[in-house]
């Protein structure tokens, strides 16, 4: 995800400012988007309780949705709005589950 976002940025293609779930078209992207909020909330709760292993296990539950997304969805499409929204989906996922969000600073 981070590589796609970096490459898109280098090519002058930016994610939408916010993810528009109503603009998602493919089932795989809708499924991924639907899983992120609840998973992020569970991960944050586990992090607060210092249950870091469980937080990582929760994140790993997204793997099938992420794999299906990358198997079924073309992110870098010609349609600028669709591409920006798909990039926003990836950005949302990365921001919710980046390492610094999960583990405390040492």
Residue 18 lies in a domain: no
Beta-carbon contacts of residue 28 (< 8 Å; ≥ 6 apart): 65, 68, 69, 71, 72, 73
Residue 106 lies in a domain: no
pLDDT at 9 (0 to 100): 93
pTM, two decimals, is: 0.88
Mean pLDDT by 10 residues, the chain (106 residues): 93 95 97 96 92 93 97 96 97 83 53
Residue 51 lies in a domain: yes
Residue 17 lies in a domain: no
Residue 21 lies in a domain: no
Question: Which stretches of 1-106 are DSSP H helices?
Answer: 2-10, 27-48, 52-60, 63-72, 80-97, 99-102
pLDDT at 106 (0 to 100): 42
pLDDT at 103 (0 to 100): 57
Going by C-alpha positions, the residue among 2, 34, 28, 31 that lies closest to residue 15 is: 2
DSSP 8-state class, residue 2: H
The parent domain of residue 45 ranges over: 2-11+26-101
Residue 80 lies in a domain: yes
Rounded-to-10 torsion of CA 30, 78, 93, 16: -100
Residue 69 lies in a domain: yes
- Total number of domains in the chain: 1
Burial group, residue 60, by CB count within 10 angstroms (0-12, 13-18, 19+): exposed
Residue 67 lies in a domain: yes
Three-state DSSP at 75 gives coil
């Amino acid at each position: 995800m981070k590589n796609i976002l970096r490459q898109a940025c280098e090519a002058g293609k930016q994610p939408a400012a916010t993810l528009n779930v109503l603009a998602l078209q493919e089932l795989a992207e809708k499924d991924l988007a639907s899983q992120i909020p609840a998973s992020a909330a569970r991960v944050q709760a586990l992090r607060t309780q210092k249950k870091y292993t469980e937080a990582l296990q929760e994140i790993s539950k997204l793997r099938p949705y992420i794999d299906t997304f990358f198997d079924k969805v073309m992110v870098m499409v010609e349609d600028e709005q669709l591409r920006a929204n798909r990039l926003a989906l990836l950005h949302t996922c990365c921001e919710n589950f980046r390492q610094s969000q999960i583990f405390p600073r040492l």
